[in-house]
C-alpha cells in the first residue's frame, strides 16, 4: 500500500484538496542558482489502481530502468509515452460510470522516480519542490518520506521539503492517480490524459523570504498616470523578528527608475493581534508617469522587491513584470483604459499532437504568432489555467486573456455546483488561480470555469474573487444560460457571455433597453470541419449594435494526437482511435487549425472579420475605419489596386490622414485613368501591409484587405469577351471523362450531420439535421433526376458547347446541399485558373474574405480531417483547367449569373465514404462541380444551422455554362 495516505485514500474524497501544500502565490522568479529543474527523464511504473502501489515503489534508491520501470519525459503525459494506458476522449459524458465521486475499477496510477542533488550552497535555506501540473491528483515522497498531496491538474503545487532533504544525493517519487473524485470537476471536452505534464523543479528559499507579491497596476486614463499598489508578504521560517524591511521600486524593462522607491518596515509583532494583518508591506504610488498597457501597445514595467534583514543586507529579492491598465464594465461596455475594445477572440486549449498537454514555450509562441497573424488579439484559456509562461507571453506580446478556473462538471451539470462535497474545491480552484495570475496585465477577466450548471458554489467563488481582486470583471456563461441574459446570474457574471447564440438572439438582447451588461460570446462559430458560416454576419451585427463587443471562436486548433497505426503509418487520431470507449469521436477535431498548426481555409475569414481597419466605398470616396482602440494606422501602409475583369490594371499607395482609434475618415477614391469603360467589371482592392517586421510577421504582411465594387457589375448572360481558340477539331466532349450530369449531393460537412456519430445525429438529434433529411430522401444514393424535375439543352458552336439546365426542386426537397452538375476530366489538368472569389476556398456564407479576381492555383487537397465537401469557389465567371505539360486548357464560362465551382480529385461519394483524410485516395481524374446554388456551411455541429438566405429554396433553378477547349 502506498505509504501514509494509502489507507486514507484522499483521491476518493472531493473535500480532500491538499495535504502540506504551501499556499499558492504568484509566479515569482527564483534567484540565480537557486532553482534546479527536475525536468527530463524520470522512471515510471504503472499500476492498475492506487491500492496496488506497494510501499517499495516509492521508497529506496531510485530503480534501474527495466521492464517495469520505463524512462519517460517530464513534462509529459504517460498516456502518450508508454504502452498500457492510452488517451481517452469524451466530451460531456464521463469516461466511466458514476455517480460522483465513484471511480472506475481500473484507475491507472503511475509512480515517477528520479534522484536529484541539493547543492552545497543551499544549506541554511528552505527547500521547496514545485510540481507544475499533474493529472489528476498526486502525492510526493522525498527520501522515503511523505511530503504532501495536491489536487487541480492545471495549477502548480509546492511542498516544503527542507526537513527531508540533505545536501548531495536525494530521491523523489511522485505518485499520480489518473482519476480521482476531482475528475468529476475536470470534465472538460478534451482527452483524458495522465502524468506530470508541466515543469518540476526544486528551489531554495531564504529562511525569511518574500512569500508573495500582489500588484495592482491601475491606469488613470484622465490623468494619464499609473496608480500602483504592491503588497509584499514576507514569510518567516523561524519566529517573526523585528528589523526586517522591504524596498520596492518601479522601473522600465530597460532598468530606468520610475518614481521614487519605497522602503518600509515589515510588521513583526503580534502585540496587537486584533489589528495585525500579516507580515505585509503595502507600497503605493498614486501617480506614476507611465505608458499604459493594452494588447495593441503592451508596454511593460518591472516592480523590484528587496527584503532586507536587520543588518540592512538584502536577503531576498524578486520582481514582477507589470502593465498599467484599467479594466471596467461600465455603460454596457467592457472598457480597457476607458476605451471600448473589440474582442477578436479565440478559445485555446493546451495541446500538442505529440506531447499532449505538455506544451513548450515554443509551442505556445507558435500559437500566438499564428493567432496574431490572423488578427486574433484575445484568448480565453479554455478551460483551465495555463502554464504561467503563457501569460508571460500574452503580457509581452499583447493579448487580452480571459483566465478560466479549472472547473467543469459537465457530465453532472446541475448537481455538483450545489454539492457541498465539492464546495471547497470550487473555491480553492478559483482562488488559487487568481492568486497565481493576478499580476498579469494580459488577464482582463476571471472566468469561474465552464459548463458546470449554476449553483451556490459559483456564487461563493465569485464572491471570493470580487473581494480579492476588485480590479477585474468576473464571467461565467452558465449563470445567464440558467437564469436568463437580461437579469440572470448577476452574482456570478458581470458579462453576458453566451455560447453559440444566434445572431438574432444577440441582437435582440443588445436592443433591449433593459440590457445593462456587455455581451461577449465565450464561444461561437464552431470550427468543426468545413464550418464557420456567417462569421461576417456575426461581425456585421456586432459592430453595428451597441452592447455587443465580440467573442471567442471555438476553437483554435484540433486536439488530434499522432498515433502510429498497425500499418506503421502515423496519423492524427481522434476519439475512439485509441480503443477508448465510450468516446465522442471527431468532436475533438473542431479547430481553425489542425493540431499541426496547418490553417484551415476559414482562418482567412477570421483574419478578415477581425481586421483592425476596414474600407468601404461611399459615393466617390473611400470610408476608412480604424477599429483599434488605442493606435493610429501608422504601423500599416495601404496599397490600392484597380481590377478590371479581375486583373490588376493600376495600383498605388493610398495617402491617408491621421485616423484616430475608433474613428473613421473619408479619402478620395484613387484615380486610375483609362481602362474602366464599357461593361467590364471593375473593383478596387485596398491592402494594408505591415510597415516593418513585427514579432508575428515580416514587413509587407497583409494585415487587412477589402474589395469594393466600382460598377460594371455583371448581368446575365455574361458576354463572351475572352476569345477562345478551339482546339483543332477536338470536340470538348472528347476531353470529358464523364458528365456533365445533374448533381444535388455534397459530401456532408460536420455541420450537415455527424456521419461518424449517427447515434448522436439521428437518435438524439444533436448537431445538424440536413444529412439525415437528405439520406431519408435518398439524395445521397438515388439518381438526382428521379428527385427533381430537370431539363437540359446542349448547343455546339464555334466557341464550344453550351449547356442550359432548368431544375425544379419540389417543396419537400427544399434546402438541398447544391443544385448543379458534375463532370470529370483527365487528371493531367491539374492546375486551375478562375475569375471568381478566392484564392482560398469559400462558401456562400463564408466568402467575405475571398476577393473577386482572377486567381491561379493547384488543385486543393482536402483540408479537413474527416473527409467532407471542400474546395468551392463562389461567384465564378469562368474557370480554366490547365494541363501544364501540353498547355491544353478546358474552360468553363458561366453563361448565366456567376456560378460556384470546385475542382478536386474526389467524387462526393469518395469523400463521404472516408472516415479519415489519410484514407482518402485521389482519383486519376479531376472532378469538377458547377453549382447554380450551394448551401452555406453554417455552424450546426454546435450552434446555429445555415441561415435562411444561404439555403436553397424549392422552385426553379436555371443556369448555363459553356465548355470549350484551347491550347496554350
Ligand atoms: C462547448 C464547450 C467546449 C466544447 C464545445 C464543443 O459546449 O464549452 O468545451 O465542448 O462546446 O466543441
Ligand atoms: Mg463541456
Structure confidence by residue, pLDDT tens digits, 287-302: 999 999 999 999 999 9
pLDDT at 125 over 70: yes
What is the pLDDT at residue 718? 42
Q: Residue 676 pLDDT > 70, yes or no? A: no
Q: Quote the cell numbers at residue 760.
A: 448522436
- 558 alpha carbon – ligand 1 mean position (Å): 12
Confidence at 722, pLDDT banded by 50, 70, 90: very low
The catalytically annotated residue of 203, 306, 404, 451 is 451
pLDDT for position 674: 53
Q: What is the pLDDT of residue 490?
A: 98
Answer whether residue 714 shows pLDDT above 70: no
Distance CA 512, CA 548 (A): 12
Grid coordinates representing 480 are 445567464
State pLDDT tens for residues 627-660.
999 999 999 999 999 999 999 999 999 999 999 9
Q: Give residue 895's pLDDT.
A: 95
Per-residue confidence band for 514, with pLDDT thresholds at 50, 70 and 90:
very high
Closest Cα partner for 477 from 421, 560, 546, 417?
A: 417
CA distance linking residue 695 with residue 683, whole number of Å: 33
Is 754's C-beta closer than 6 angstroms to any atom of ligand 1? Answer: no
In degrees rounded to 5, what are phi and psi of residue 18?
-170, 160
- Kind and range of the H or E run holding 372: helix 361-373
Mean pLDDT in residue range 562-578: 94
How many other CB atoms are there within 10 angstroms of residue 173's CB atom?
A: 27
Return the DSSP state at 913: H
Q: List the one residue out of 834, 842, 779, 836 whose CA is nearest residue 812.
A: 779
Q: What is the pLDDT of residue 723?
A: 36
In this prediction, residues 454-481 reach a mean pLDDT of 98
Q: Classify residue 484 as exposed, middle or buried by CB count within 10 Å of its CB (0-12, 13-18, 19+).
A: exposed
Protein residues within 5 Å, CB atom, of ion ligand 2: 189, 410, 451
Residue 673: pLDDT above 70? Answer: no
Question: In testing the pocket of ligand 1, which one of 189, 349, 382 has its CB within 8 Å of the most ligand atoms?
Answer: 189
Predicted local confidence at residue 132, as pLDDT: 98
The CA distance from 776 to 119, in Å, is: 72
Phi, then psi, of 729 in degrees rounded to 5: 70, 5
Give the DSSP H or E segment for 283: strand 280-288
Average pLDDT over residues 923-933: 98
β-pairing, 195-196 with 134-135?
antiparallel
Q: Is 91 in the pocket of ligand 1 (CB under 6 A)?
A: yes
Cell numbers at residue 235, please? 514569510
Question: Is 811 designated active site?
Answer: no
The C-alpha cell at 184 is: 468529476
Give mean pLDDT, residues 675-685: 79
Q: Is the pLDDT of residue 949 over 60?
A: yes
The answer to whether the CB of 635 falls within 8 A of the CB of 613 is no
The answer on pLDDT for 221 being more than 50 is yes
- Per-residue pLDDT at 733: 73
Cell numbers given for 76: 509529459
**Buried/exposed 830-868: b ≥16 CB within 10 Å, e otherwise:** bbbebbbbbebbbbbbbbbbbbbbbbeeebbebbbbbbb
Residue closest by Cα to atom 4 of ligand 1 = 189
Atom 10 of ligand 1 has which residue's CA nearest to it? Answer: 189
Reported as a pLDDT band with limits 50, 70 and 90, residue 968 is: low
Which ligand 1 atom minimizes the distance to the CA of 555?
12
Percent of the chain at pLDDT above 90? 92
Would you call the peptide bond into 920 cis, given omega within 30 degrees of 0 as the criterion? no
Identify the DSSP state of 589: -
Cα–Cα dist 302/248, whole Å: 10
Q: Is 451 a catalytic residue?
A: yes
CB of 276 within 8 A of CB of 270? Answer: yes
Atom 3 in ligand 1: which residue has the minimum CA distance? 189
Under DSSP, the state recorded for 871 is -
Q: What is the pLDDT of residues 165-177, one digit of tens each?
A: 999 999 999 999 9
Task: For ligand 1, say whether the CB of 590 is within 6 Å of any of its atoms.
Answer: yes
Nearest to 288 by CA among 250, 321, 262, 315: 250
Considering only CA atoms, which of 573, 253, 244 is closest in space to residue 396? 253
Q: How confident is the model at residue 502 (pLDDT cuts 50, 70, 90)?
A: very high
pLDDT, averaged across the chain: 95
pLDDT at 728: 43
Q: Has residue 68 got a pLDDT over 80?
A: yes
pLDDT confidence band for 730 (50 / 70 / 90): low
Distance in Å, CA 554 to ligand 1 centroid: 8
Ligand nearest to the CA of 554: 1
For residue 712, what pLDDT is reported? Answer: 59
| Of residues 394, 393, 408, 472, the one with CA closest to residue 434 | 472
Distance in Å, CA 189 to ligand 1 centroid: 6
Q: 224: how many CB neighbours lie within 10 A of its CB?
A: 13
In short, whether 122's Cβ falls inside 6 Å of ligand 1 is no
* DSSP string for 39-98: -EEEEEEEESSGGG--GGGTSSSPPPPSSSSEEEEESS-GGGTSTT---EEESSS-SS--
Between CA 930 and CA 744 the distance in angstroms is 11
Write down the pLDDT at residue 967. 78
Helix 420-437 vs helix 456-468: angle between axes, to the nearest 10 degrees?
Answer: 30
Place of cell 509546492: 158
pLDDT at residue 70, rounded to an integer? 97
Candidates 306, 404, 523, 707; catalytic one: 523
Bridge partners, residue 429, by sequence = none
What whole-number distance in Å separates Cα of residue 528 and Cα of residue 241?
Answer: 61
Q: How many Å lie between the centroid of ligand 1 and the Cα of residue 515? A: 26
Give 348 Cα–ligand 1 centroid separation in angstroms.
12
pLDDT of amino acid 877: 97
State the DSSP string of 89-125: EESSS-SS--STT---S---EEEEEEEEEE-GGGTTS
Instruction: Reduce the DSSP state of residue 72 to 3 states and report it.
Output: strand
Alpha-helix residue ranges (DSSP H) falling in 826-925: 908-913
Q: Is the pLDDT of residue 35 over 60?
A: yes
Highest-scoring range by mean pLDDT, 193-207, 263-277, 726-740 = 193-207
How many whole angstroms separate alpha carbon 542 and alpha carbon 512?
A: 15
- 3-state SS class at 205: strand
CA of 464 to the centre of ligand 2 (A): 24
Q: Which of 406, 477, 554, 560 to mutate to test the pocket of ligand 1 (most atoms within 8 A of CB)?
A: 554
Query: CA 552, 937, 605: angle at the middle one, nearest 5?
Result: 50
Q: In this structure, what C-alpha cell is assigned to residue 888?
A: 491544353
pLDDT of 720 over the 60 cut: no
Helix, strand, coil share (%) of the chain residues, nearest 5: 15, 35, 45
Amino acid at each position: 500500500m502506498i505509504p501514509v495516505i494509502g489507507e486514507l485514500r484522499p483521491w476518493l474524497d472531493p473535500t480532500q484538496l491538499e495535504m502540506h501544500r504551501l499556499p499558492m502565490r504568484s509566479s515569482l522568479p527564483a534567484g540565480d542558482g537557486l532553482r534546479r529543474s527536475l525536468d527530463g527523464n524520470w522512471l515510471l511504473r504503472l499500476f492498475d489502481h492506487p491500492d496496488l502501489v506497494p510501499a517499495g515503489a516509492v521508497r529506496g534508491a531510485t530503480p534501474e530502468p527495466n521492464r517495469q520501470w520505463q524512462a519517460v519525459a517530464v513534462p509529459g503525459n504517460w498516456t502518450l509515452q508508454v504502452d498500457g494506458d492510452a488517451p481517452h476522449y469524451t466530451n460531456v459524458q464521463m469516461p466511466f460510470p458514476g455517480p460522483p465521486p465513484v471511480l472506475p475499477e481500473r484507475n491507472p496510477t503511475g509512480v515517477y522516480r528520479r534522484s536529484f542533488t541539493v547543492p552545497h550552497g543551499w544549506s541554511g535555506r528552505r527547500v521547496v519542490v514545485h510540481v507544475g501540473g499533474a493529472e489528476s491528483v498526486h502525492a510526493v515522497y522525498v527520501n522515503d518520506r511523505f511530503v504532501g498531496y495536491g489536487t487541480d491538474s492545471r495549477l502548480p503545487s509546492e511542498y516544503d521539503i527542507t526537513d527531508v532533504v540533505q545536501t548531495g544525493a536525494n530521491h523523489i517519487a511522485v505518485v499520480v492517480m489518473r482519476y480521482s473524485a476531482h475528475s468529476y470537476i475536470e470534465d472538460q471536452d478534451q482527452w483524458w490524459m495522465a502524468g506530470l505534464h508541466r515543469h518540476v523543479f526544486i528551489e531554495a528559499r531564504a529562511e525569511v523570504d518574500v512569500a508573495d507579491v500582489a500588484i495592482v497596476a491601475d491606469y488613470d486614463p484622465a490623468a494619464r498616470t499609473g496608480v500602483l499598489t504592491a503588497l509584499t508578504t514576507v514569510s518567516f521560517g523561524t519566529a517573526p523578528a523585528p528589523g526586517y524591511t522591504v524596498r520596492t521600486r518601479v522601473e522600465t524593462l530597460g532598468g530606468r527608475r520610475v518614481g521614487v522607491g519605497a522602503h518600509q518596515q515589515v510588521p513583526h509583532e503580534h502585540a496587537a493581534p486584533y489589528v495585525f494583518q500579516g507580515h505585509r508591506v503595502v507600497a503605493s504610488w498614486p501617480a506614476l508617469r507611465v505608458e499604459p498597457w493594452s494588447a495593441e501597445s503592451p508596454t511593460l514595467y518591472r516592480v523590484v522587491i528587496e527584503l532586507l534583514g536587520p543588518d540592512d543586507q538584502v536577503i531576498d529579492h524578486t520582481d514582477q513584470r507589470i502593465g498599467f491598465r484599467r479594466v471596467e464594465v461600465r455603460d454596457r461596455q467592457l472598457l480597457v483604459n476607458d476605451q471600448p475594445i473589440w474582442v477578436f477572440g479565440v478559445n485555446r486549449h493546451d495541446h500538442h499532437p505529440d506531447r499532449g498537454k505538455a506544451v513548450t514555450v515554443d509551442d505556445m509562441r507558435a500559437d500566438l504568432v499564428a493567432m496574431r497573424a490572423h488578427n486574433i488579439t484575445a484568448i480565453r484559456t479554455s478551460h483551465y489555467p495555463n502554464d504561467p509562461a503563457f501569460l508571460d507571453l500574452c503580457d509581452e506580446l499583447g493579448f487580452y486573456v480571459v483566465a478560466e478556473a479549472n472547473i467543469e462538471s459537465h457530465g453532472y451539470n446541475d448537481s455538483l455546483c450545489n454539492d457541498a462535497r465539492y464546495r471547497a474545491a470550487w473555491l480553492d480552484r478559483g482562488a488559487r488561480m487568481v492568486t497565481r495570475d493576478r499580476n498579469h496585465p494580459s488577464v482582463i477577466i476571471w472566468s469561474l470555469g465552464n459548463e458546470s450548471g449554476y449553483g451556490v458554489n459559483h456564487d461563493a467563488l465569485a464572491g471570493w474573487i470580487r473581494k480579492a481582486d476588485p480590479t477585474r470583471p468576473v464571467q461565467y456563461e452558465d449563470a445567464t444560460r440558467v437564469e436568463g441574459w437580461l437579469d440572470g446570474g448577476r452574482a456570478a457574471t458581470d458579462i453576458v457571455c453566451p455560447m453559440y447564440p444566434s445572431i438574432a438572439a444577440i441582437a435582440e438582447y443588445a436592443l433591449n433597453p433593459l440590457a445593462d451588461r456587455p455581451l461577449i460570446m465565450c464561444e461561437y462559430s464552431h470550427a468543426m470541419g468545413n464550418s464557420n458560416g456567417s462569421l461576417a454576419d456575426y461581425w456585421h451585427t456586432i459592430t453595428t449594435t451597441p452592447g455587443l463587443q465580440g467573442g471567442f471562436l471555438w476553437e483554435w486548433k484540433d486536439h488530434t494526437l499522432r498515433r502510429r497505426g498497425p500499418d506503421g503509418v502515423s496519423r492524427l487520431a481522434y476519439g475512439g482511435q485509441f480503443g477508448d470507449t465510450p468516446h465522442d469521436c471527431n468532436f475533438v477535431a473542431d479547430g481553425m487549425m489542425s493540431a499541426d498548426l496547418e490553417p484551415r481555409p476559414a482562418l482567412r475569414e477570421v483574419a478578415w472579420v477581425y481586421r483592425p481597419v476596414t474600407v468601404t466605398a461611399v459615393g466617390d470616396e473611400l470610408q476608412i475605419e480604424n477599429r483599434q482602440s488605442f493606435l493610429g494606422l501608422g504601423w500599416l501602409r495601404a496599397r490600392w489596386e484597380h481590377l478590371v475583369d479581375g486583373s490588376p490594371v493600376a495600383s498605388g499607395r493610398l495617402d491617408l490622414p491621421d485616423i484616430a482609434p475608433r474613428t473613421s475618415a473619408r479619402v478620395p477614391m484613387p484615380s486610375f485613368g483609362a481602362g474602366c469603360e464599357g461593361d467590364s467589371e471593375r473593383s478596387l482592392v485596398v491592402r494594408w501591409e505591415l510597415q516593418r517586421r513585427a514579432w508575428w510577421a515580416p514587413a509587407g504582411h497583409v494585415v487587412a484587405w477589402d474589395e469594393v465594387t466600382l460598377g460594371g457589375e455583371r448581368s446575365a448572360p455574361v458576354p463572351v469577351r475572352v476569345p477562345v481558340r478551339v482546339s483543332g477539331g477536338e470536340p470538348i466532349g472528347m476531353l470529358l471523362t464523364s458528365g456533365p450530369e445533374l448533381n444535388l449531393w455534397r459530401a456532408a460537412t460536420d455541420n450537415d450531420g455527424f456521419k461518424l456519430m449517427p447515434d448522436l445525429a439521428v437518435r438524439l438529434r444533436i448537431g445538424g439535421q440536413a444529412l439525415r433529411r437528405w439520406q431519408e430522401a435518398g439524395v445521397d444514393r438515388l439518381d438526382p433526376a428521379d428527385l427533381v424535375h430537370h431539363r437540359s439543352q446542349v448547343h455546339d458552336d464555334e466557341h464550344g458547347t453550351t449547356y442550359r439546365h432548368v431544375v425544379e426542386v419540389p417543396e419537400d426537397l427544399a434546402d438541398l446541399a447544391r443544385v448543379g452538375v458534375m463532370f470529370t476530366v483527365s487528371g493531367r489538368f491539374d492546375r486551375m485558373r478562375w475569375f471568381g472569389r478566392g484564392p482560398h476556398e469559400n462558401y456562400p456564407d463564408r466568402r467575405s474574405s475571398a476577393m473577386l479576381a482572377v486567381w491561379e492555383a493547384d488543385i486543393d487537397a482536402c483540408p479537413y480531417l474527416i473527409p467532407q465537401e471542400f474546395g468551392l469557389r463562389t461567384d465564378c465567371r469562368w474557370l480554366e483547367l490547365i494541363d501544364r505539360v501540353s498547355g491544353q486548357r478546358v474552360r468553363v464560362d458561366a453563361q448565366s449569373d456567376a456560378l460556384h465551382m470546385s475542382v478536386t480529385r474526389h467524387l462526393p461519394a469518395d469523400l463521404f465514404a472516408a472516415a479519415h483524410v489519410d484514407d482518402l485516395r485521389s482519383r486519376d481524374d479531376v472532378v469538377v462541380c458547377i453549382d447554380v446554388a450551394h448551401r452555406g456551411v453554417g455552424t450546426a455541429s454546435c450552434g446555429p444551422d445555415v441561415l435562411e438566405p444561404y439555403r436553397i429554396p424549392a422552385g426553379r433553378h436555371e443556369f448555363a455554362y459553356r465548355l470549350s477547349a484551347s491550347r496554350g
